[in-house]
Structure 1
Amino acid sequence: MSGCESVLSTGRLEVRGGLRDAVLYTVAFWVFAGALWMDVWFLGGVLDRISTESMNVHVDFDSFWRSARALLGGGDIYDAGARLVNLNPPVWTVLISPLGLLEALDAYRLFVLLSVLGVIGYLAWTAEELRLRSAWAVVGSGLLLLSSPLLSTLALGQVYPVLTLGLVAAWISDRRDDQRLSGVALGLVVALKPSLAPVLLWPLVRRRWDSFSAACVSGLAASLLGFVVAGPSATLRYVGILSEGSANPYWDNASIPAAMARFFTEHPYGQNLFTLPWMVYVGYALGIGVLVLTAVRVRDGGEAGLWALVAASLLVSPIAWHNYLVLLGPGILLLLARGRGAPALLLLALQAIPAQWVLLWNDERTIPATFALTLYLYVLLAHWAVFFFAVGPANVDPGAAKA
């Protein structure tokens, strides 16, 4: 009887799994269809943003370039005349300082070229490490290269491809049991983007002490480099900029605290539900809860653990622009390699929705429009949930690890 019950239980699980995948495939199909419809109208504009010669469009890179110029000229790297405040630490300016020797547009084009090569490189590296079937590697990598977050990242000239390369290096080194190299890569990522500091929980909760120690040392060393080269005043100014940060209610901000600010505080971007400013702190509490839950989930290992923690870090952050989804792309290739095609395709479909989604609702100052314009939070939550439930016992092919 126990054997029959086991067979029936297995059968029920397979049926449920089949139904779940059918639902996910259906949703993914219609999301892809909607994204394609919007791309017909807006894709040309996206490509124009990348190719334009106006640095007013490439505003993030413009702030980086002006900071690099200021560093080379002995000026203030956080007051270099840029339209946007440079939100990256001094060490980032030090690393890209050679670009300050070029004219702004030439430097931007070189940066985009290096970013694209970096993205192709880490996607190919991930696919090779996972021994991903060629068809899935082409489909997954191709859709990620054409994804809305990456195209917008390239247009603005943002740092996310560099950070993703560091995360992939940390993740693959961990798979190959090179704990120190994994920690060094992870520490450098955190040094370049301190808001990703919660990813240090990945080695900590799994008791990878060599990796955690290496991450702390490399992160501090990189920060010290910025402190010495850019000067103590630049570091103090950056700390001040961080302390002034808050949950920006703008539509592109996908974090939980930002959504609470959108729904419960007055802002110029749309209609809030109620005016309850303290709900922003509830948002931080919810985000911390998600982070703690994720850390507990990954403590016993699992290939998707790092990507689940990255997603949780974005959910709890004051600012997590939609373009941050670039950081989670390699995790989607992992899902494809492990036979989770339905959720992987759903995430690829969600990343295909163009940034111009907001144009469909931006003129409507209504509560339904506010919910619609909070789409990016739902997209980020979907990534976190998929990676969270994909976390399981580590199952690394020794042959793959040595390849």
Structure 2
Amino acid sequence: MWTSLSLWLTVTIITTKQIGYMSTEDFPEDGELDSIGLATKYGHPPIQYNVITEDEYILAVYRLPGKGNGTPILFTHGLMDSTDTFLMRGNTSLPITLANKGYDVWLANTRGNRYTRSHRHLDPDTDPAFWNFTFHEMGYYDLPAIIDLVLNETGAKNLTAIGHSQGNTVYYVLGSERPEYNSKVNVLIALAPMAYVHNTPPPVSTIAKLTPIITKLAKDLNIYELLGDTTVLGQISHKLCSVPVIGYTLCGYGLLYPSVGSDPTELEPEFFQNLAPHYPGGSSVVSLLHYLQVGYRKTFAQYDHGSETNQKIYNSSEPPVYQLDRVTMPIALFAAANDRFSSVADVEILRKQLPNVVYYLLNPRLICNHVDYVWGRTASNYLYPHINIMLNRYNPL
């Protein structure tokens, strides 16, 4: 693994020097567009809302108003991602498809990405405290603020949630820590469900074993922001991975596929050029570390700050375990055999812990991976019909 990583870094440095710093004008058209631009291009100019959380983070939320009277549908994205991820397939992306049918579609950005790098008092460039959050704060603060916004604006009593990866983890935190919100979600359609990280294969499992070392290194080097647009690594990633052929080889085959599962027919090189400027969208370092801790400690619990700090925060030397039996909202779990980040074995652990799983799908497409749910070229064929089953049951137009 380390030999491969060293080779990747060496080639990356050489290639970056050769191509220089590309301007955004060098990106393909969809690569240059933000979420508003993408939604507008594909027929649904969005309404933007800026919601302020209880702890004063400012979050951008977009609405694609449908023509029907169905329950609003709220999308939540994954780790280091943004609302861009749901729109990059254009006319065949799930939000555009549902908006075309008349659904009232909402797209949420959780704290720390390119659209939510904002706080009423903390400066993300100078205040490390801004980055002191994980998926826990997203579930405890961001989701309640966003859900309340959607319900207040629409007058609905509850909403349908569609989450991808971390976009599901936050609902398990919400249902566990703020159980009064369970009744506000009529169903959670969980694509690539993330909670347990016990059975991930290398390289993720290898990295998880190094969690204490990585945590100390990040602290010693004062690294707080993870692959944001203003960080050096984030800028290199966007520009390098957008380069035809070279970017797909280095970033697709070198980094992405080993982590999420290989499926090049669904993530073709031409699309990768549009994808690379959008992902990663940035987050906090501790957000990633929290997932690694779950794999390292083999427990789905709140963030482990170390026994001394834990005692101050939690009144216990160990972080509290999330009580998943309190997550009573109906949940549909969508798993995939080729998902190397949200493994079938880990989804099964989650399935046994949740009290109200109303649907379980092991995707019939055997090489469906972790990101095909949002980026897959033909996801409308092997995924959308199953989502429609849930929508027809819980959210008829």
Normalising to structure 2: TM-score of the pair? 0.32
Which of the pair has more CA radius of gyration?
Answer: 1
Higher helix share: 1
* Greater RCO, CA 8 A, separation 6+: 1
Higher strand share: 2
